[in-house]
Amino acid sequence: MPDNKPTFSTPYKNANELTKLTLGKTTAYISEYSPSLLQGVPRSLNRNNIAIEVTALPFKGEDVWYGYEISWLNVKGKPVVAVGVFRFPCDSDNIIESKSFKLYLNSFNQSRFSSTESVIEHMVKDLSAIAGKPATVSLFSVTECPSFNIEYLPATCIDDIDITIDDYTFDAQLLKKVGSIESVTPVSETLVSHLLKSNCLITNQPDWASIYISYKGESIPHENLLRYLISFRKHNEFHEQCVERIFTDLLHAYSLTELTVYARYTRRGGLDINPFRSTHLTHAPSVRTHRQ
């Protein structure tokens, strides 16, 4: 039988590691290269909260960031613009805090670099130092950026299920409510919902996402899954934390032999964050929808 371990609340909101962040505070925008602007959030905060052993993660994966507002000056002072893809392994020590990432990228605006390769080298060094594991940085011209092509993952959308919702309190038990119909025959399918909304842990600003769930094993009732995802609507956590919560809740609620959870969050401040967690896959597909 599946492990129906309950999902816990988020008492780490006032952790010392979070009170030191610039997130939610008035800050000056620095336009000269300044790696000290970057800040990290320990992944262990949320993982301890949902009983994930940091030394024995139940998933593989990465956090993929797409950057749309990247610029610096060449040696003659002429501006260069680019778009970027940043990848951080999910077993790194820290999440890159999003506001600090934006401030850091802005600090390149009035700084001179000899080449795009030099910019990449600086970014890899700085981001890897904060993450605690090697980061990958790819920069593209705005006319040649294959990773930014609009594509769609093949998936069954569950958003058209006709349901009534009158409670938006997060509830993992919605995945296994009384009366669920479970298939005896193992199922293999990919589902998507564009209705995922959560809120920033610190600022309470809304975060919007399309979430893809691919699995093999016990059938996940689509209505239960949709109700569960909608229950995040008032929930406060960072993007990466929400995806890991969804992943572990699904593993606890159902007998699954394979599971992949991939959220494509909409852009804010020139960045979008796309956490990818899987039992068997390491790298997220390079796809982007109209919402991103």
Q: DSSP letters along the chain, please? A: ----PPPP--GGGG-HHHHT--TTS--PPP-S--GGG--EEETHHHHHHTT--TTS-S-EEEEEEEEEEEEEE-TTS-EEEEEEEEEEETTSSEEEPHHHHHHHHHTTTT-B-S-HHHHHHHHHHHHHHHHSS--EEEEEBTTB-GGG-B-----EE-TT--------S--GGGGG-TT----SS-EEEEEEEEEEEEE-TTT--EEEEEEEEEEEES---HHHHHHHHHGGGG-B--HHHHHHHHHHHHHHHS-EEEEEEEEEEPPBTTEEEEEEEESS--S----B-TT-
- Residues tagged active-site: 200, 207
